[in-house]
Structure 1
Amino acid sequence: MDVLTGEPLALDLLNTRANMPDGEFDVLASPDTFREWLLAQDGRLSPVETADDADLAAVRALRGHIAEAVEHARQGAAPPQTALDALHEAQRAAPPYRRLTWDGAALTATVIRAGDSRARLLAELAEAAVDLLAGPAVTKVRGCEGPGCRMLFLPAHPRRRWCSPALCGNRVRVARYYQRHKD
């Protein structure tokens, strides 16, 4: 799987749809690629017991709402209420609560979520989107300048132009090289 990870979780979800040199790629097109993406997000999401067609449909629908909200918010515009309502609904389906456990010396609190595997996944993804949308970083989210690329990223450096220097950056440099040496 060539889809990039490592951006804020909400952007990683949006980047599950990519334009690759050999065509469009959607991680959420099959349970197998979806499971690979979940493994790549290890530690960022609760374990998912299944990754069936119903799970994929629910995550794809949430991804659409997040994409709509992020696109508006990064331009300083109010996101559609339907997108915000979808995020709130996903969060309410698996609310977080703190569970106390005794570790042998002291009480420790662990945040867990109620609900089944799908509800927890959707709530965690919605929560990540809310964190991004409510923070100042949302207006700094950029789209990759690579030809045809739709990836989004939060630049750590103000001069960053591509989702990945190894992917789109390299494609742009190679194209410029060939253009200069064409004649």
Structure 2
Amino acid sequence: MSFLSLEFVSTVRADRSGLIDTLSDADGLTAWARDHAAELGLDPGFSATEESRQETVRLRLAVRALFARAVAPGPPSRADAADLPGFEEALALVNATALAAPTAPALSWDGEAEPELHTVPAVPADASARLRARLAAAAMELLASPDRALLRTCQAPRCVLYFIREHPRQEWCSTACGNRARAARHYREHKK
């Protein structure tokens, strides 16, 4: 199960040395966008500017704020909970970003093969605006779907990721996080 918006908010993650931001510079955004070019409807040669990176990071904070609201009353991600914009501001930014580069369906059909439905820009927009619009739309799709009820924050030590719970007993985003959480609990219990 792949969710573009989860991959987007997961560009902030943690390891033993602390927080890692995949989008910390324009090259990072360029590499991430190229890795997701097909999902984002981008040319594989996409290149980010510092301005587009800053706007994309601002969108990521807004999406993370909406995710924090979606997991409530559970805790938000520890990565940036103190830095998130307010709910209304985040919602307005995500909606405005999606509207900045609207898409429309387009049918391609050569008369012989089966018709194929594609999504194309409805109005002219630069690649950076299309990238952010697709990311905003992906967040909207997840938050408006039944999967929103399954959205969780991983509570393993050092983890700052959001994930979709795939079975009722799932508590962590990955097996590695589950192992780390169990080891930390064992250490706390036997430290005394």
Bin the TM-score by the shorter chain.
Answer: 0.7 to 0.9
- The one-letter code of the counterpart of 1:63 is R
Q: 2:61 aligns with which of 46, 64, 79?
A: 64
Q: 1:119: how far off?
A: 1.0
Q: Per-residue CA shift, 1:46-102, capped at 9, x if unaligned?
A: 2252122112111101011111112113327xx822222111211111111223334
- The one-letter code of the counterpart of 2:157 is P
2:39 partner SS: coil
- The one-letter code of the counterpart of 1:44 is E
Pair 1:30 & 2:25 matched: yes
1:109 partner SS: strand
Contact 1:142 1:155 in 2 (8 A): yes
With over 3 angstroms needed to count, the CA separation of the structure-2 counterparts of 1:73 and 1:182, relative to structure 1, is: closer
CA root-mean-square deviation: 2.6
Contact 1:7 1:153 in 2 (8 A): no
Which ranges of structure 1 fall in alignment gaps of 5 or more residues?
A: 1-5
Q: Name the structure 1 match of 2:164.
A: 154
- The one-letter code of the counterpart of 1:35 is T
Pair 1:138 & 2:148 matched: yes
How many residues are matched? 175
Q: Name the structure 2 match of 1:170.
A: 179
Instruction: Between 43-52 and 64-73, report the one with greater CA deviation.
Output: 43-52
Instruction: Between 13-22 and 119-128, report the one with greater CA deviation.
Output: 13-22
Q: 1:96 aligns with which of 89, 92, 103?
A: 103
Quote the sequence identity (%): 33
Contact 1:7 1:154 in 2 (8 A): no
TM-score of the superposition, structure 1-length normalised?
0.81
Between the aligned partners of 2:68 and 2:184, the Cα distance in structure 1 is 29
Between the aligned partners of 2:175 and 2:31, the Cα distance in structure 1 is 23
Between the aligned partners of 1:153 and 1:69, the Cα distance in structure 2 is 14
- The one-letter code of the counterpart of 1:17 is V
Contact 2:70 2:151 in 1 (8 A): no
Contact 1:45 1:121 in 2 (8 A): yes
Between the aligned partners of 2:108 and 2:68, the Cα distance in structure 1 is 41
Between the aligned partners of 1:39 and 1:159, the Cα distance in structure 2 is 35
Which ranges of structure 2 fall in alignment gaps of 5 or more residues?
A: 74-85
With over 3 angstroms needed to count, the CA separation of the structure-2 counterparts of 1:178 and 1:75, relative to structure 1, is: closer
Between the aligned partners of 1:145 and 1:81, the Cα distance in structure 2 is 26
With over 3 angstroms needed to count, the CA separation of the structure-2 counterparts of 1:7 and 1:102, relative to structure 1, is: closer
